[in-house]
A and B are shown apart, each in its own frame.
Chain A
Amino acid sequence: MMPLSMSERTDEDDLLLWILVWSELTAFSILFFGYLVMSVLHADNFDIARLHLSPRLASFNTVVLLASGWQAALAARETASEFSRRVSLLLTAGLGFLFVVLKFVEYRSEWRFASEDSFRSFFELYFMITGFHLAHVVFVGLLFVVVAMRPQRSNIVMLATVWHVIDLVWLVMFPLIYLG
């Protein structure tokens, strides 16, 4: 795939994009630091609590989110026709919503362990971090559906970039919480 052309983007677009990107990354950095500090302070409880998570389902969800990011990149191509942009945008949103459904399936099996005293701090942080990420997936997924109705390229490029950043946050969160 060819890189996107710079000519259509204005300085205002760039500024807004960077603000969006860095506000996301800063918010998640704070949460990740909180998680790291707590996982060092309560290492045993965190290690045992983590055994109740579903790394297989989370791995599958990683593939779903990456496939969704790929569709977002296809939608942002300069050469894409309006029809193929619409299809890619709807596939991006659809895969994003599949991610959300699978995450709720995962939550259902994990929820019962959250009330145990020794696991409480782990699951509070776990639900806060993954829930905040999930809220982003839902919101930007809905925006993809809205943009698919009138697929203007500048909007697609902005949304696709934010979507890739949301992917990136998951790609750091997944090893931090499930594999680390």
Chain B
Amino acid sequence: MDHTPGGLLWSCSAQWKQEALPTIALVVVLALTLLKTRLIILDFMGLRNRSPRLAAALAAWPVFFAAVILAKALLPG
């Protein structure tokens, strides 16, 4: 192991990347999923106005899975 300041900094940065990047990527993709559902499918494609209950259920579908995936990724064990 490299104990010079540069080596330690690189090691910390690599560890941060390994630990934090998947979580950041996960959050970004899930945010994109929710945006796509609301802006494209419900608003732009016009599904929101025709059947509000089905549209609400459609909006809830990715929210539910996003919550489960985030919980599974972030909770220990």
Which A residues contact B (CB, under 8 angstroms)?
Answer: 1, 3-6, 9, 14, 17-18, 21-22, 25, 29, 32, 36, 39-40, 59, 62, 66, 69, 73, 76, 157, 160-161, 164-165, 167-168, 171-172, 174-176, 179-180
Contact = CB atoms under 8 A, between A and B. Distances in A.
B50 A9 contact: yes
B26 A180 contact: yes
A18 B54 contact: yes
Interface of B: 22, 25-26, 29-30, 32-33, 36-37, 40-41, 43-47, 49-51, 54, 58, 61-62, 65-66, 68-69, 72-73
Given A14-B50, A167-B36, A168-B62, A175 B44 contact: no
Contact of B30 (A5, A36, A39, A175): A175
Given A69-B36, A76-B45, 14 more contacts: A3-B46, A6-B50, A14-B50, A18-B51, A22-B54, A39-B72, A66-B32, A66-B36, A164-B45, A168-B33, A175-B26, A175-B69, A180-B69, A180-B73
A141 B40 CA distance: 19
